[in-house]
Amino acid sequence: MNSDSDSARITRKEREFQSRRKEIMAAATRLFALKGYHGASMSEIAREAEFSTGSLYNFFQNKEELYFSLLLEKIEALVQEVIVVTTGAGTVEERLRKLVDTIFVFFTRERDFWRIFAEQRSAFETSAKGQFADAIHDKYVSYLGLMIGLMNQGREQGLFREFGPEELALSFLGILSTFLFIFVNSAERYDLREKGRLVMEIFFDGTRKR
């Protein structure tokens, strides 16, 4: 049998597998947003994705694996957006402003998903183990590393007072996280991007070199 033909067939099968997997994940995202993590069953997700319940388990062992797969996908998407901004053009301050806007737009778009995570965070952190825990940790380290690199550039340019780049990155992310936590858990819907100016003011009032 022709090896090139075998390779093409495997590639096609893999593409089909990934396409169907994405359909399931999209259906799960819609149902989790509508009914919450515990309210959405695997059988309902299967119906939403137009799959049989049995075939769903060819892609994910259980609902927990499906959820963590979604979580990793969204974290990876965020990290990719952060890479584009932090390594892009502009001064450090301009990139930080753009970064705040990018992250706020991302969480506004994905608000329902992150609200589920916020509500179930302690349970998810307890159950996250093995490859999922390692992967989530690696993504966070990557995210933090990008921020530390940007803050280090700012220090080299004389933008900040004598704080370490890691201290600056953690402080900046702490302020961001507080605004995101309030937004995700609030019953009120508002334009999160309007808070961007406030984030920058709070951060630079405490860190800018005078």
Q: Is the pLDDT of residue 89 over 90?
A: yes
For residue 172 the two structure tokens come to 């900046």
Amino acid at 19: S
> 121: which 2 tokens?
């965070």
Decide if pLDDT at 123 tops 70: no
Q: Is the model more confident about 2 or about 185? A: 185
pLDDT at 128: 61
Is 159 or 10 the better-scoring residue by pLDDT?
A: 159
Query: Domain 63-207 falls in which CATH fold?
Result: Tetracycline Repressor; domain 2 (1.10.357)
Sorting pLDDT into bands at 50, 70 and 90, what band is 127? Answer: low
Q: What is the pLDDT averaged over residues 26-51?
A: 91
Residue 36 reports pLDDT greater than 90:
no
pLDDT band at 190; cut points 50, 70, 90: confident
**Given this structure, which CATH class describes domain 1-60?**
mainly alpha
Q: In this predicted model, what pLDDT tens digit does every residue of 47-84 receive, in sequence order? A: 999 999 999 999 999 998 898 888 888 889 999 999 99
Which residues touch 61 (CB under 8 Å, ≥6 apart)?
Answer: none
User: For 171, how many CA atoms within 13 A lie in the half-sphere containing its CB?
Assistant: 17
Domain ranges of the chain: 1-60, 63-207
Q: Is the pLDDT of residue 157 over 50?
A: yes
The whole-number pLDDT of residue 33 equals 83
Has residue 133 got a pLDDT over 50?
A: yes
Tell me if 109 sits within 8 A of 185, measured CB to CB: no
